Structure 1
């Protein structure tokens, strides 16, 4: 009997693997089904590769300048020009892409890891637990996101890590409320009731049945919030509350270049364009993800 089962499992396993690959291929095809998603994916991939291979793409150190090349306009030697300390702006943007990507993904990942379980618990348990959790979430959501982030950074102190924590904290309630609403839509489904009847633990139900059925909703929101997290973190750096000098963070570069905007506009134009292109790429890509994962969306 065991030999037959082993042979059956061996025969089934390749078929399962093939089916999973086919499903993944179909999902990617659906995500890239619109021109906006394709453009967003290409731009996002280009930015990620530029951040990874920054040392190969530029010979300059983003933190070291040449006092003889201060505030130079774009040239063949320095395609994006130099700043007030003679640092190559292209090098600073390439290395700064690493920081901006961290600013986008780190707070969102933290917010999902913390906020989603809180929202799932509130929606699944209900009653007083739901009311207490949601009232606390409502208090946090009552504050504008950037204002709450500024307050948190003011308490923790300026710095890139504290800015990331602040953005994550104000993003947590968004995912908590979203997870709670999505959980309420599936918690009374027959398969949940069946899992309870056979004695499955609540934690196991949440992990195996609730979360997989709401994960697409969370992922769609995550792709949208990454761009907003980058904008918020860049805003904090622009205000002097985020990344500190000499870090090549794009928001900090904007803040530094505004003093020279009349005599060296390239110090503001290129970091600003970098932020716009990255956020635009994420928003374009999010459009494809939404169309692929939202069953109500027309493709």
Structure 2
């Protein structure tokens, strides 16, 4: 009887794990489809004015309604996925990559170098993330690459401190001493011995940074920084629809829903990765 119960529980765990994997894969595929084909599958041109249908409520012809210029909100939400999600993904990737490199080098070298680097990271973290990103975009200009750089700058010190906290302990492990005894250089040890042991942590960190990047990118667009009309970006759509929220709430509800779904989905993917990769607790490679 105990063995049967154990087998049933094992099958239950396997089923839940597979279901979670499929849901995460479906979400990732949905995000990729929105980035690549969002504008193509939009039923109407998101930029063309239609004075015959201003501020129409959701209907069969316009499932998400129309704005004050008669533009289809569904088409604008689909087309607005790329300016928001692509920027978020790129910014999270750059920020985590910079943070991983900085954290690996600082944690491995330690000493005065570690202190100096971490104090610089602390200085960057002392600025509120959104304000720091706004300052960078205002100074560099509203080009997409500048928005990506600004958001990545916000994530850089946070990822660096996370990786450094793990590498400090890993650098004391026997496999690092063995690599040194073989005559391996510091660069080899950092990227061939230490990096593989933090890859799982970086994957989870990246998924969570994507969540924050979506919110920061949408906030920048809402504040009029980084995206200019008539580009359909989710944050900008919320800003444009806010004055009309009492008579046309769908102008705000649907882009906000898109932001919420994307953010929550990224969090769930991160949680799924954390459980699948057995984090926290990164063990040294033997």
TM-score grouping bracket, smaller chain normalisation: 0.7 to 0.9
Unpaired runs of 5+ in structure 2? 1-12, 282-286
> Given the alignment of the two structures, is residue 283 of structure 1 paired with residue 264 of structure 2, yes or no?
no
**1:9-62 deviation line (CA, Å, top 9, x unaligned):** xxxxxxxxxxxxxxxxxxxx9897186665444334334324433355333112
Over the aligned positions, Cα root-mean-square deviation in angstroms equals 2.2
Q: Contact between 2:108 and 2:168, CA under 8 Å: does it hold in 1?
A: yes
**1:182-214 deviation line (CA, Å, top 9, x unaligned):** 211211111110110111111111111010011
Q: Contact between 1:178 and 1:218, CA under 8 Å: does it hold in 2?
A: no
Which residue is 1:18 aligned to? none
CA positional deviation for 1:164: 2.1
Paired with 2:171 and 2:233, the residues of 1 have a C-alpha distance of: 43
Structure 1 residue aligned with 2:97, among 113, 118, 134? 113
Given the two structures, how large is their TM-score scaled by the length of structure 1? 0.83
Q: Helix, strand or coil for the counterpart of 1:53?
A: helix
Which residue is 1:122 aligned to? 106
Q: Contact between 2:57 and 2:64, CA under 8 Å: does it hold in 1?
A: yes
**1:114 to 1:55, Cα distance in 2 relative to 1, 3 A:** closer
Given the two structures, how large is their TM-score scaled by the length of structure 2? 0.87
Which residue is 1:272 aligned to? 256
CA positional deviation for 1:160: 3.8
Alignment of 1:14-33 (within 5 A): 33=17
Which residue is 1:68 aligned to? 52
Which residue is 2:247 aligned to? 263
Q: Helix, strand or coil for the counterpart of 2:17?
A: coil
> Given the alignment of the two structures, is residue 172 of structure 1 paired with residue 153 of structure 2, yes or no?
no
**1:295 to 1:58, Cα distance in 2 relative to 1, 3 A:** closer
Which residue is 1:95 aligned to? 79
Q: Which moved more, 1:52-61 or 1:93-102?
A: 52-61
Which residue is 2:65 aligned to? 81
CA positional deviation for 1:220: 0.9
Paired with 1:140 and 1:31, the residues of 2 have a C-alpha distance of: 44
- How many pairs does the alignment contain? 269
Which residue is 1:242 aligned to? 226
Paired with 1:209 and 1:120, the residues of 2 have a C-alpha distance of: 11
**1:31 to 1:116, Cα distance in 2 relative to 1, 3 A:** farther
CA positional deviation for 1:241: 1.0
Paired with 1:276 and 1:34, the residues of 2 have a C-alpha distance of: 25
**1:138 to 1:253, Cα distance in 2 relative to 1, 3 A:** same
Paired with 1:163 and 1:93, the residues of 2 have a C-alpha distance of: 20
Unpaired runs of 5+ in structure 1? 1-28
Which residue is 2:197 aligned to? 213
Which protein has greater RCO, CA pairs closer than 8 Å, 6+ apart?
1
